[in-house]
Amino acid sequence: MKKFRYTLYLRESMIFKLIAFLVALILIVQVFPKKAKFKYEFQKGKLWQHETLYAPFDFPLKKTAEQIEAEKEEIKENSIVYYQKDSSVYQSVISNFNNKKNTHFSGVSEQKKQELLAKGEEFLKKIYQEGVILSVENTGEGEINLIRNGNEFYEVSLNNILKLNELNSEIAKYFSDAPYNKYKKNYYDLFFEILQPDITIEQNFTKKTLEESLKEIVYTRGWVKKGQLIIARGEMVEGERFNTLLSLQSEYEEETWNHQNYVWSLTGYYVLVSIVLLVIGLYLKIYEKEIYKNNVKIAVILINMLTIIAFVGIITQTFPQYIYIVPVGMMALILKSFFDLRTVIFVFIATILIIGFIVPNSFQFVFIQVVAVLAIIIAPRDLHYRLNSFVSAALITGAYFVIYTAFHAITEGTISGLNISLFTLFFLNGVGMLFSQPFTYIYEKTFGLVSDVSLLELSDTNSKLLRELSEKAPGTFQHSMQVANLAEVAASEIGANALLVRVGALYHDIGKMLNPVYFIENQKTTTNPHDSLTPTQSAKIIIGHVTDGIELARKNKLPQRIIDFIRTHHGTSLAYYFYRKEFEQNSDCQEFDFRYPGPKPFSKETAILMMADSVEAATKSLKNPTYEMLDEFVEKIIKKQLDDNQFMNADITLKEIEKIKKVFKDKLTNIYHIRIAYPE
C-alpha cells in the first residue's frame, strides 16, 4: 500500500495524468448506451420548443405501457384453466375409508354397520366416477377442460363434479332416505376426513397456454406515414402527441441503427467526454495547482466520477425506473471532505453533465440532482461534524420531494397523481447519503488523505499525543496553541484550509517532547542546558526535534498531511544562533550541519505555518513591545524567509503574504494589548 501511495504521490507526473485520464475516458464511454440517441428532448406537459416535426419515415404507433398492461390483465382474467384427473386418488380414498370406517360407526350393530358402510362406499364410487375438485377457476359456461393423454383435452360439466365445499349438501341429498338419514353426521365426519380432490389444475399446460396468449398481443395500434404532422412548434406535449413522439423515439433508437451509426456515435461520445475531462484538467492546472500536482488527489476525483457514472449507467440499463435511488450526492459529500467547495461544485457539475447523456428524461434528472446536491454542499457549511450527515440526508430528501412535486405540477397541471414510488426512491437515496462517512474513511486509509472529520478529531487538545505534549513540554504546548490561532486566521484570510493549518500547527513541535528542557519555552530556571554543550551539539538537538517529531507522528499513526507540517515548518532554514556561535570558534565549520533537513514548504498551508511559527516564537523575545516594534519584527522575519527562498515551492503569492503579515500584526497587537498611537 505504501509503495502504491508513493507512486501516486510523484509530483507533476504527466505520464500518470495522461494514463489516468485516458483510462477514465475509456471506462466512462463503456457505460454509455450503444444505440442511437433521439435528438429531440421533450417532456409530457411542456411546450414543444423545437421546429414543427413531421414523420421522417413510416413507423408503427405503439400502444402505451398502460394499454399493454391492461390487455395482459384481461387475458389473465379470461385465460382457460386446464385440469387433470388422477385415478390413483380414488384407490387411496377407499383405503382410508376401510381403515377409518369402524371409528365413525362404533355404536352401531354389526349388521347395520355393514349396510351403512356399503351405502358409503357406493357414494364414494359415484362421486369419484365423475370427479372431486377443491375449487374452480375461470370455468366459462359451467364446464372445465380436462387433459387427456398429455396434450388432448375435453370438456366436463361442473354439475357432475363434486366441489368439496358442497360436501355437506351432497351428503344430505344422497343419504336422505331412512335409515341412512339418521347417520348424516357420521357420514360427514368420515368423508370430511378422507376425501381428496382427484381433479387438480394442470399447471404446465395452463401456464403454456397463457404464455402463448400473451405472445399474441399486438404492441402497435396503427401507423404514422412519412410526412405526417406529429407536433407543431409551441404545441403542448400531451395525449396523442406525446404517445406518437414516444413511438418515433423508440423506432429511431432501436430500428434505424447500423454499424456506421455506432462508430459515429461512439466517436461523438469520446469527443464529448474528452472535452469534459479536459476542462476539469485545465481547471485544476490553472486554479487548483496544489491538486493538479498531487496524483493521489487526481486519482480520488476520477475514481469518484467513475464510480457514480458506472452506478447510474448500470441502473439505467437494467432498472431505469429506479434511477433516483442512486445517491449521486454522496460523491459531492465525499469530495467535500478532501477538497474546497469550488472544486467540488465544478467536478460535480461536470459529472452530472456526463450522466445527462445516459439517463432518460435527462433535463429533469440533471436539474433535480444539481439543485438538491448544491443545497447540501452549500447550505450546511460545517459538514465535518458527523451529525451533519443526518442533516444532509434529510435535506437532500426534502429537496427531492419539493423539486419533483414542482415538476409534476408543471407537467400535469395538478399535484394529484404524484408517483408515490418515486418518493420511496428519494427516501432511500437520502438513506444512502449516510454512507458517505464510511466511504470517506475508506478513501482516507487507502490514499493516505485526511478529511475534515479526522482533522476535527485530531484538533481535540484532549487527544493522547497533545495531552502528552502539554504534560512533558507545557511551554511548547502553549506555543503550539498560539501558532495554531495565528495560522488559522491567516489561512481563512487567503482562502486556504484553515482547519488543516490549525491541526498542523498543534502537532508541528511534538518532537520537542523527547528533549523538552533544551527548548527555552520549557525552561523553568535560569540554568540553560546548552551552556554545557558545544554549538554543534546544541544545533543537533534543536534540529533533531523535526526528525523526532516525524518518527513520533508515524508511531502514533498521524496522517501524512499532518506529518508534512512537521517536516516543513523550518524548511531548510539555518539554526543561525548556534551556527554563528560555532563560526566564532571555528571559521571552517560547515553551514550544512546547522541547516534543517527540510523539505521547504510546498503548499499555502505549510508556508503559513512556517511564518506563524517563526513570528510567534520571535515576538516572545520582545520586552514591552509596541505596534511599531511588532510591525518591524514581522516584516523582518518574513523577509528573511523570502530571501532564503523558503517559499519557492509553495503555491503562495506575494499578495497573499502581505495579507498574512497584516493578520499577524493585528493578532499580535491584540495578544500584547498594544494601543496604537494615532497622530493628533
pLDDT by residue (tens digit) across 520-547? 888 887 778 888 888 899 999 999 999 9
| Residue 154, burial from CB neighbour count under 10 angstroms (0-12, 13-18, 19+) | exposed
- pLDDT tens digits for range 650-677: 889 999 999 999 999 999 888 876 554 5
Angular region, 223: left φ>0, alpha ψ -120 to 50, beta rest: beta
> Can you tell me the mean pLDDT for 361-384?
75
The yes-or-no verdict on residue 268 having pLDDT over 90 is no
The yes-or-no verdict on residue 615 having pLDDT over 50 is yes
Comparing 219 with 34, the larger pLDDT belongs to 219
Work out the pLDDT band at 2, boundaries 50, 70, 90. low
Share of the chain above pLDDT 90, in %: 30
The yes-or-no verdict on residue 22 having pLDDT over 80 is yes
Least confident of 113-122, 369-378, 461-470: 369-378
Q: What is the pLDDT of residue 673?
A: 62
- Residue 111's contacts (CB-CB under 8 Å, 6 or more residues apart) are none
> Can you tell me the mean pLDDT for 258-286?
87
Structural domains in the chain plus CATH codes = 9-35+258-447 (no CATH), 77-214 (no CATH), 459-671 (1.10.3210)
73 — phi, psi (to 5°)? Answer: -65, -40
Q: What is the pLDDT of residue 141?
A: 53
Contact 101, 120 (CB under 8 A): yes
Q: Are strands 162-163 and 132-133 parallel, antiparallel or unpaired?
A: parallel
- pLDDT tens digits for range 469-518: 999 999 999 999 999 999 999 999 998 889 999 999 999 999 999 999 99
107 — phi, psi (to 5°)? Answer: -95, 15
* pTM beyond 0.75, yes or no: no
156 — phi, psi (to 5°)? Answer: -130, 135
Q: Crossing angle, helix 341-355 and helix 259-287, to 10 degrees?
A: 180
CA separation (Å) from 297 to 304, 437, 441, 446, 599?
Answer: 11, 18, 15, 12, 21
Q: What is the pLDDT of residue 360?
A: 80
Q: Which three cell numbers stand for residue 540?
A: 543537533
